[in-house]
Amino acid sequence: MIGDFVDEVNIKVIAGKGGDGAVSFRREKYVEKGGPDGGDGGDGGSIIIKSTLNKNTLVDFKYKKIFRAKNGENGKNKKKAGKTGENVLIEVPVGTCVYDIETNELLSDLKAPEQYLVVARGGKGGRGNARFATSTLQVPKIAEKGVEGESKNLKLVLKIVADVGLIGYPNVGKSTLISRISNAKVEIADYPFTTIVPNLGVVKVDTGYSFVVADIPGLIEGAHLGKGLGDQFLRHIERCSILVHLIDISCFERDDPVEDYIKIRKELESFSHILSKKKEIIVANKIDTIQKDTLEKRLVDFKNRTGKDIFPISAYTGENIKELITMVWNHISKEKIEQQKSFQKRLKSIVTEKIKIQPVSYEPDPYIKINVIKWDNETFEVVGDGVEKLLSRYDIHQKDSRLLILNTLEKNGLNKILRNAGVKEGDTVYIGNFAFEYIP
């Protein structure tokens, strides 16, 4: 891509880890035996993507590609919970598709403004020891660790949201046309590939409504295979309600307008089924440069060879431009009015909406598959996914946490599995980074 227009980027999002629960006991004057008062850890912050009308390119992600949310704070004494980690809000242009790179799954197509997508949830904070007090365990020295937040590699792909797509070979007058009918300010020059990025313009109609036109950089034969500039931008016209196919009827630079039309149509059909089915208005431009009788012959020839009507204009002088705008609006007005009503209704409802995010939580599976690795004749290690999850949730160096871990593993046959692995009395057994002397 060239300049400040970027329409495809890869980013990494990392949600915050939940804070650890606290192990704490009351320490008060005149209170002989204080009870447990360790508070819960705060939930980790999440990563949220929001669509906005204030942006029209993904250039912000050209250099900043990693987004991290804050971790939740650890719990405190006096049953004080840690603060929740701050969320990260990422704004993208309306029309952005969000893909999970690992699975190639489309997570969301943000077609409307003010849409929100939670792409990485923060981890749930761990419970403090005040939560573990029971009649049989009145002084619990146990707390949960916070859960890790989600982490994802994402691909953001922008498909410009325009009502009308201007297409055609380079230098047929698309930039001149969009500058005349809209508020777009574009560079116009007499050489191919003047337009190297899509230009957007807003066209106002007499009814008080407006529509958006996208001037797509010139297509050439083989564009869908990567030739020229057009292949980079074909996806931007997939969302358009209608295509305006501009033909240079003057034949000064290109010999046969019909052949040009047929070749561009083949590019659209080769790129996607969606583009091949789009409604189109075929427009003959540069009529100011040829004699009227020559123009009539070429318009008739086009009709005879394609079976399709072609509407003559001059983007340079403005001839038939108002009629073209009316023609386009008549094709898209019903859909556009419904869309604008829907957007306005959505924007009003956004004020009362509140995003609810369920943090990533984890409760150890009561049924754990245990494996034993033999490092040497007297050293063994207990491993397995379930074991790792237990260790990620509880601190094995805390006495009561260690008992919980061992009791859970024993319920899943730890002693029998160790014996079958050849562990003998006095051998060293590791669970995580904690070593035990094995006693049957």
**Residue 263 annotated as binding site:** no
**Residue 52 annotated as binding site:** no
Any idea which residue has 């077609």 for tokens? 111
- Amino acid found at 118: V
Q: How far is residue 392's CA from residue 20's CA, in Å, rounded to a whole number?
A: 11
* Residue of 366, 359, 432 lying closest to 394 (CA atoms): 432
**Residue 11 annotated as binding site:** no
**Residue 196 annotated as binding site:** yes
**Residue 408 annotated as binding site:** no
Cβ burial of 249 (10 Å; 0-12, 13-18, 19+) is: buried
**Residue 386 annotated as binding site:** no
**Residue 316 annotated as binding site:** yes
* Residue of 156, 147, 145 lying closest to 124 (CA atoms): 147
HEC-encoded secondary structure of the chain:
CCCCCCCEEEEEEECCCCCCCCCCECCCCCCCCCCECCCCCCCCCCEEEEEECCCCCCHHHCCCCEEECCCCCCCCCCCCCCCCCCCEEEEEECCEEEEECCCCEEEEEECCCCCEEEEECCECCCCCHHHHCCCCCCCCCCCECCCCCCEEEEEEEECCCCCEEEECCCCCCHHHHHHHHCCCCCCCCCCCCCCCCCEEEEEECCCCCEEEEEECCCCCCCHHHCCCCHHHCHHHHCCCCEEEEEEECCCCCCCCHHHHHHHHHHHHHHHCHHHHCCEEEEEEECHHHCCHHHHHHHHHHHHHHHCCCCEECCCCCCCCHHHHHHHHHHHHHHHHHHHHHHHHHHHHHHCCCCCCCCCECCCCCCCCCCEEEEEECCEEEEECHHHHHHHHHECCCCHHHHHHHHHHHHHCCHHHHHHHCCCCCCCEEEECCEEEECCC
Q: How far is CA 362 from CA 120, 335, 374, in A?
A: 16, 46, 29
**Residue 197 annotated as binding site:** yes
**Residue 170 annotated as binding site:** yes
**Residue 218 annotated as binding site:** yes
Distance, CA of 179 to chain centre: 32
**Residue 385 annotated as binding site:** no
**Residue 217 annotated as binding site:** yes
**Residue 216 annotated as binding site:** yes
**Residue 333 annotated as binding site:** no
**Residue 57 annotated as binding site:** no
Sheet holding 116-120, edge to edge: 88-93, 47-52, 116-120
**Residue 173 annotated as binding site:** yes
Indicate the annotated binding residues for Mg(2+). Answer: 175, 195
User: Which parts are annotated binding residues?
Assistant: 168-175, 193-197, 215-218, 285-288, 314-316
Mark the binding-site residues for GTP, compressed into ranges: 168-175, 193-197, 215-218, 285-288, 314-316
